[in-house]
Every structure is written in structure tokens, then in C-alpha cells.
Amino acid sequence: MITIQEGGIASTVQDRGRFGHYHIGMPPSGAMDKYAHTVANYLVGNNADAATIEMTYQGITATFDEDAVIAITGADMSPTLNGESIGTWETVAVDAGDELELAFATEGARAYLAVAGGVDVPEVMGSRSTYTLVGIGGHEGRGLEEGDELPIGEADGTPSELVDTQLDDEYVPSYADEDTVRIVIGLTSYRLTDESKERLCEAEWKVSAEADRTGYRLEGPELEFKEREQPFGAGTDPSNVVDLGYPIGSIQVPQKPIVLMQDAVTGGGYSTVGTVISADRGLLAQRQTHKSVYFEAVDVDEAIAAREARDDRLETIRAEIESTN
């Protein structure tokens, strides 16, 4: 059992997501940065889908009721155990009664705490992920608060043998602002003027204060739409189209971009002029408020290749960690 002393700003239980329900309006939820979430699980001997604690901008303070093996990845929140600094992207032993504290993020926006055995909250629609907008999954369908008690599942194997395993530096992301976020142009990019299409990938965008698990609103130049007579079923605003489905990562443009994230609605009537590729959504999720975002257009084949490269990288990490156990 983990007992929460302080819940941080926005900390929730997440796994890889809730799939197969998009057609009824249920988004997948799940970890915003799947790379960091997955590596944290591998470092403690869990499978990739075990539930972790996702912490946004500020981490939790918690005590452990029994011995445990943990790993913290993602944003640097300067974790301490009983007041002593501990490393990130490595496997750490925790004794019963120990207090773990994470501070504010200095690089990146989201950190992940994995515990051997996983956070063992009940599954809802096949996932332990929290979807706070409707109050399902995770711990009571909400963010973590003081006094919450989270059960830990039974660990596979002997995770204690992984203690002191540290991820090679080459696998640790930097979350640098200059890293471009790759997008596939479409579905309704034809609605933009030619100048605005160019502006989308040439402009410097800034993450606004309205950036969360539902969507990332970006500040920057306005994007303009071609004039036309709106078709039946579309709204009166030039950015409106006849309702369509929204892929995760799709970029809506009610004048300025909003990138839809893990908890976003599944469809509606705004133009979606591009989609952040799955391999780069975690990079965007780690971009802090007021930080810069630059888009780079790629085609579908390049997007698939990037996803395969990320998956190969994770498989290499898993194999290297297992070889130490």
C-alpha cells in the first residue's frame, strides 16, 4: 500500500489506455508520455501496461507501508527518499515506512512513478487509467489527494534484483524546446489558406496556460481559412466543418491550434488540419507552459517508421534490463 501525503498539482493513476470504446465517445486516457511510463515499468520488472502514477508539474509525497521497488522517469522533479536525493531513470529499493517526496518539475512536465507489481486499482472498461472528466478509473476516478491509499499488486519474478539498474544515457530524453514535433497534415487542411498552411509549420508556437490531459492550446499567429459557403451540417464559423472523428493528437484550429490529447472528445465540428504522430505525443506532453513548439510535416510512412523505431527502442531497453535480472 502507498499512502498519499500530498497529491501534487494533478496526479493520477494511468496505464497505457482504455481501447476499443472510441465509437461510443470514450477516449483512451492513459499515460501522456507512454515512453517514460513504459520505461518506468520495465525498470521495476512490470509489463508495459501496469498502472503507474502520472504527476504533472509537481510530484506527490507518499509513504510506503511495506518494502517496495520503484522507478521514477519523465520530468525531473528532484525526488528524495527520507530527505535524501535519489536518481531518476533507475531502479530504487524502498523500505517500509519510507517517505518519497517529489518537488516541482525543472525539466519536462510529467513524471511517472512505477512500483513493482503495479498500482492495483480496479479496471474499468479494461483499463486502470483515470478519466477525470467523467470520474472513472484510477482511484475513485479523480486526482490523488492527501489520505488516499493505493494498493500495489503482486510483483512478477524478483524485482529486488533490478535495484540500482540505471538506464543508459542514450535512452534518456532531454525534452529540449528545439526538438520539433512531427505532424501528418490533414484531415481538413484544405480549408486553410496557402499562407496559413505554411505558417503552421514555420511559426513558433507557445504552450498556453490552457494545456492539460484534454488538449494543448498553443499561442501564436492566427491561421486563416478560405472563404466558402458553409455546407449543410457545418457551423457558421469558417473553422467549422460537418462533424468528423478526432484522432488523438489531432490539431483543431479555432483560429489558433489546439492539440487534442489523451482525454479529449472523440469527434466534433472543428477543422482538424494535422495530427501529431504517436511517437511525438509524449514529447509534446512534456513541453511546459510558455515553452516553444515547432511543427515538422511528415507523411504517413514516416510516421509509421517513427513509431516502429520508438517501439524497437523500448524493446531494446526491456531486453537490456531483463538481462540484468
Q: Give the integer Cα–Cα distance in Å for 261 and 129.
A: 14
Whether residue 54 is found in the same domain as residue 160? yes
Whether residue 144 is found in the same domain as residue 255? no
- At residue 183, does pLDDT exceed 80? yes
The CATH number that applies at residue 213 is 2.40.100.10
Per-residue pLDDT reduced to its tens digit, 202-237 = 999 999 999 999 999 999 999 988 888 888 888 888
Mean pLDDT calculated for residue range 285-290: 96
Give the contacts of 272 (CB within 8 A, at least 6 positions apart).
186, 187, 188, 244, 246, 247, 250, 251, 252, 253
What number of CA atoms fall less than 13 Å from residue 106's CA on the CB side?
Answer: 6
Which of the listed residues 173, 204, 226 is the one where a domain comes to its end? 173
Whether residue 42 is found in the same domain as residue 150? yes
96: exposed, middle or buried (Cβ count in 10 Å: 0-12, 13-18, 19+): exposed
Which residue bears the cell 509525497? 61
Whether residue 254 is found in the same domain as residue 220? yes
Whether residue 233 is found in the same domain as residue 293? yes
Whether residue 301 is found in the same domain as residue 198? yes
What band does 325 get if pLDDT is binned at 50, 70 and 90? Answer: low
- Is there a contact between 90 and 165 (Cβ–Cβ < 8 Å)? yes
Per-residue pLDDT reduced to its tens digit, 190-199 = 889 999 999 9
Q: Residue 50's CB: how many other CB atoms inside 10 A?
A: 26
Whether residue 285 is found in the same domain as residue 143? no
Q: Give the integer Cα–Cα distance in Å for 213 and 13.
A: 13
